[in-house]
Amino acid sequence: MTGKAIQIVLASTSIYRKALLEKLGLRFVQVDPNYEELFIHGESPAIRALRLATGKSQTAAMALSPETDRNTIVIGSDQVAHCDDQILSKPGNFDNAYQQLTLSSGKWVTFSTAVCLSRPDGTVIKCFDEEYRLKFRDLSDTLIRDYLELEQPYDCAGSIKAEAHGILLIEDSIGKDINTLYGLPLIRLATALLQIGVTLPSKNLD
C-alpha cells in the first residue's frame, strides 16, 4: 500500500510508548509535550484520558517549529487506571504502590487509554479511546511485597506491569487489544494512520 511521506511525532517521553509505537514499523521522533495534567473533580476516567491525550497532542503540535511540514501528525496518548471509582495513578514509590495493589486485590481494574492525532497548528484530526480490564487475584501481603521489590513498577498506572512479572497478579482479562493495557491501542491507531495516508510499515527504516 502506498501512502504519503508523513512525519510522525510522538508527544511522549515514555520508553514504553516508544517501544509500542515501534511495533508499527514507523519512523518517528519523540518530544516532551510539556503539558500540565490538571485534575478535574467528577470527571470520568475515559473523559479524563481523552482530555489529557488531546492536550498533550495539541500542546506538542503547536510547539513545533513554524517550518514543520503541514502533513506532520502528532500523536498524544494518556491512560487512566481506575478501580471502585478511584483513579490509580503512577504510584511513584513502594507505599503508594502497596496501597493500590491492596485496593485492587480480588477486583476488576479498568485501564482507559486515549489517543489524539493533531496537525502542527493544533487542529485535531482524530481522537479515540479503548478500555482493557484486568481481574486481580486475591493478593496476599507477601505476594504484593515480593512483586514490588522485584518489579518496582512505580512509573506504571495501577502499579502493574502485566508484560513482565505483573502477570503473576492477574486472574483474568477482557479487551480487544493487549497494547491498550500497555499504554497505546495499536490496532485502532494503525487503522487511523492508514486512513490518513501513512504507510505502514515504513520502507525506509534503518
pLDDT at 181: 96
pLDDT tens digits for 36-58? 988 898 899 999 999 999 999 99
**What's the rounded Cα separation, in Å, for the pair 24 and 41?**
36
Cα distances (angstroms) measured from residue 150 to each of 111, 139, 145, 161, 163: 23, 15, 9, 11, 14
Domain range enclosing 189: 8-195
Q: Assess if residue 206 is contained within a domain.
A: no
Residue tagged active-site, from 69, 78, 138, 141:
78
Q: How many domains does the chain have?
A: 1
In the chain, which residues have pLDDT < 50? 1-3
Question: In the annotation, is 172 catalytic?
Answer: no
Instruction: Name residues whose C-beta falls within 8 Å of residue 163's C-beta, 6 or more positions apart in sequence.
Output: 182
pLDDT tens digits for 3-13? 457 899 999 99
Q: Assess if residue 151 is contained within a domain.
A: yes
Mean residue pLDDT across the chain: 93
pTM: 0.91
pLDDT at 203: 66
Give me the CATH number covering residue 132.
3.90.950.10
**What's the rounded Cα separation, in Å, for the pair 54 and 31?**
15
Question: With 0-12 CB in 10 A as exposed, 13-18 as middle and 19+ as buried, what is 52?
Answer: buried
